[in-house]
Amino acid sequence: MRFVKLLDVLGVLVALVVGFGAGALTAVQRGWGTMEMTVHLSNQTGQPVSRLIITTKNSTRTVTTHLGALAQGAETTSRVAVAGEGIYQIEATLADGRVITSSPAYVQSGYSAHERLQADKIESKVKFGL
């Protein structure tokens, strides 16, 4: 009887360890618990982008990330600091001097955004996880 109880306890412990490990692996893969978001940018403006700026804001701070230039048709991915939840916005200066700006979007740490830079606007798709 005592042996059966020991096996039951061992089975529960193994299940707990496996469950914890699976949860930890999922959290790492999805970026949960990080203090950043991932931004994927695609330049479909018809011309090079001479300057890209991503600004994130929350109730206590503003973080501005300068990404530099992006060739026509090129794509890039960047991780941007987001402390908790807030908003973010992208500003792109085109080679001809025009500036296009995305609408502010709500984000949290661990979110990802897919940004398609077009000649007259920035099309955003934001989702939780990668």
Q: Write out the residue range of the structural domain in which residue 26 sits.
A: 1-30
Domain count for the chain, please give it.
Answer: 2
Q: Which residue has the tokens 């930890």?
A: 24
Residue 23 has pLDDT above 80, yes or no: yes
Q: Determine the pLDDT at residue 129.
A: 61
Evaluate the CA torsion angle 63, 65, 66, 72 in order and state its sign: negative
Instruction: Clarify whether residues 47 and 7 are in a common domain.
Output: no
The mean pLDDT of 16-39, rounded to a whole number, is 79
Residue 31 has pLDDT above 70, yes or no: no
Confidence class of residue 28 from pLDDT cuts 50, 70 and 90? low
Instruction: Clarify whether residues 98 and 113 are in a common domain.
Output: yes
Residue 65 has pLDDT above 70, yes or no: yes
Residue 69 has pLDDT above 80, yes or no: yes
